[in-house]
Amino acid sequence: MDCYIDAYKGAEGRQGMRLREKGTGRKVSFGEVPPAAADPFMQFLIMGASSAAAMPDVMLKDGAEDGVRVSGNVDFDSPEEIRFFYDDALQYLFV
């Protein structure tokens, strides 16, 4: 599935980032992520957002050129959210 990085204002005005599915905008999550893995994933999102000049569609819901491709075992699939198991099959990369 192809995704985009959604930057938003979180609690206390802090910047947050998350993945959303291209086209639909539904939330993409990874279930229970071990704390040691959360930091590298956030760094991945920050790197993508920082590279928006080179990959402008990585931040756009309907942009077709750039994005984050996510694959793995699906835990939960609804019209509002798709959640993947955080396991050895989970992969995410810039495309």
Q: Tell me the two tokens of residue 46.
A: 């920050």
| Ramachandran sector of residue 39 (left: φ over 0; alpha: ψ -120 to 50; beta: rest) | alpha
Specify the pTM.
0.91
Question: Is 64:82 a contact under the CB 8 Å cutoff?
Answer: no
- What is the total count of domains within the chain? 1
pLDDT bin (cut points 50, 70, 90) of residue 17 is very high
Domain of 72, in residue numbers: 2-94
Average pLDDT, stretch 18-47? 93
Average pLDDT, stretch 6-20? 90
Could you report the per-residue pLDDT of 35-58, keeping only the tens digit for each?
888 899 999 999 999 998 999 999
State the pLDDT at residue 52: 86
